[in-house]
């Protein structure tokens, strides 16, 4: 078993405990400014001269390992104070992993530094996707040396701690068909995460979506074209697309804004019974040309509760002929 790190609260109760790698010792631990920890020690994989390799772990506040690592390899004994790590912003994952190599300046003539960088094990969804609630989304992640099981979860709030919900645990493959939850509205700060474990139950890697993706209940599709100009008095068909909703849609409210949808600028256009997906709108007169107009759509259930809303992504112009 590799180094064991425990975090205790003020009462001495264990908040979390984790092991790292398959062998080695930790001799010191230091908390750093971001709330994480630097752990220094020695590996059990010794070269022919009998000296062990340096082991340095950089952990986040939850004890997880970020995506990059440093392995220190030296003919100098561990007690040699000249063979110290010269960049504690780097980290170590496991000296047995075959790395992509970059060389850094050395503090000891016998010391070599090898950087291990993983592009992140999560493949998809990895940011920018628009996913329909109730649909099947395939979560995919790459293989990690030493990993035998995986847990996956999702967050609707940009991965903020405390917002994660478990999707599945103890997975042995590198993909999972996730049934996307049906939500009470559009969510545009979604992320998924994966955590990899070795055979001893130690965490060997974690990763989350690089950027947020969206779960979209309703989408305004027209008007949504950049540069669109509408003339007062003309008829224009407002359209929207509805995916699965948490409750049936009883009615739809349509709003207009002359100022990019800013708070306080929305004005009701009409309330429609049912959910037809379109409305033929007679463009109203304006005193002066308005070039920052938006349309908003709100879905309501039988209790008139909002169960989904969206507005056009792009501004359009309303122009009144002289």
Q: For residue range 63-105, list pLDDT tens digits in order.
A: 776 544 444 444 434 333 333 333 333 333 333 333 333 333 3
Q: Pick 231 or 92 by higher pLDDT.
A: 231
Number of domains in the chain: 3
Alpha-carbon distances, residue 263 vs 11, 254, 257, 299 (angstroms): 47, 15, 9, 19
What pLDDT does 99 receive? 34
Residue ending a domain, choose from 117, 138, 157: 117
Residue 230, pLDDT > 90, answer yes
pLDDT at 273: 97
* Total count of residues recorded for the chain: 322
Shared domain check, 126 and 200: yes
**Residue 122: per-residue pLDDT:** 82
Q: How far apart are CA 8 and CA 12, in angstroms?
A: 5
For residue 107, the model assigns a pLDDT of 37
Q: Is the pLDDT score of 132 beyond 50? A: yes
Asked if pLDDT for residue 145 goes beyond 80, the answer is: no
Q: Give the whole-angstrom CA distance, residue 214 versus residue 183.
A: 12
Structure tokens at 31: 């908390």
- Pair (252, 159) in one structural domain: no
CATH code, domain with 144: 2.60.40.10
CA quadruple 285, 287, 293, 294: dihedral positive or negative? negative
Domain final residue pick, 117, 134, 165: 117
Indicate if 210 and 222 belong to the same structural domain: no
Model confidence pLDDT, tens digit, residues 250-307: 999 999 999 998 999 999 999 999 999 999 999 999 989 999 999 999 999 999 999 9
pTM for the structure as a whole: 0.62
Which whole-number Å values give the CA distances from 166 to 30, 113, 162, 169, in the listed order? 31, 37, 12, 8
One domain, residues 256 and 164: no
**Do 20 and 57 reside in the same domain of the chain?**
yes
Could you list the residue range(s) of the whole structural domain that residue 181 is in? 122-214
Q: What is the pLDDT of residue 120?
A: 58
Q: Is 80 exceeded by the pLDDT of residue 118? A: no
The residue among 141, 163, 137, 136 whose CA lies nearest residue 152 is 141
- For 167-211, the pLDDT digits (tens) are 999 999 999 999 999 999 999 999 999 999 999 888 888 889 989
Pick the last residue of a domain from 117, 141, 164: 117
């Amino acid at each position: 078993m590799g180094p064991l790190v425990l975090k205790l609260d003020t009462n001495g109760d264990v908040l979390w405990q984790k092991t790292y790698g398959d062998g080695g010792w930790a001799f010191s631990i230091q908390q750093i400014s971001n709330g994480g920890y630097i752990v220094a020690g020695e590996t059990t994989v010794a070269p022919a001269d009998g000296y062990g390799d340096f082991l340095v772990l950089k952990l986040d506040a939850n004890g997880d390992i970020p995506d990059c690592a440093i392995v220190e390899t030296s003919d100098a004994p561990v007690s040699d104070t000249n063979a110290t790590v010269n960049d504690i912003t780097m980290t170590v994952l496991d000296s047995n992993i075959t790395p992509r190599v970059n060389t850094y300046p050395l503090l000891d003539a016998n010391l070599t530094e090898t950087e291990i960088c993983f592009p992140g094990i999560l493949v998809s969804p990895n940011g920018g996707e628009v996913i329909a609630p109730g649909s099947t989304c395939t979560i995919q992640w790459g293989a990690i040396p030493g990993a035998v099981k995986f847990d996956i979860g999702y967050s609707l709030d940009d991965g903020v701690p405390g917002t994660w919900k478990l999707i599945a645990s103890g997975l042995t493959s590198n993909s999972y068909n996730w049934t996307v939850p049906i939500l009470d509205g559009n969510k545009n700060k979604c992320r998924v995460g994966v955590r990899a474990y070795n055979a001893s139950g130690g965490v060997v890697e974690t990763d989350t979506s690089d950027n947020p993706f969206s779960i979209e209940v309703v989408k305004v599709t027209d008007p949504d074209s950049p540069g669109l100009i509408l003339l007062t008095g003309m008829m224009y068909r407002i359209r929207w697309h509805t995916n699965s909703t948490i409750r049936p849609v009883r009615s739809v409210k349509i709003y207009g804004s002359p100022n990019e949808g800013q708070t306080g600028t929305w004005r009701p256009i009409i309330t429609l019974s049912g959910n037809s997906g379109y409305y033929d709108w007679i463009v109203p007169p304006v005193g002066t040309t308005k070039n920052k107009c938006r349309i908003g759509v709100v879905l309501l259930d039988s209790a008139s509760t909002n169960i989904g809303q969206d507005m056009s992504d792009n501004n359009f112009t309303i122009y009144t002929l002289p």
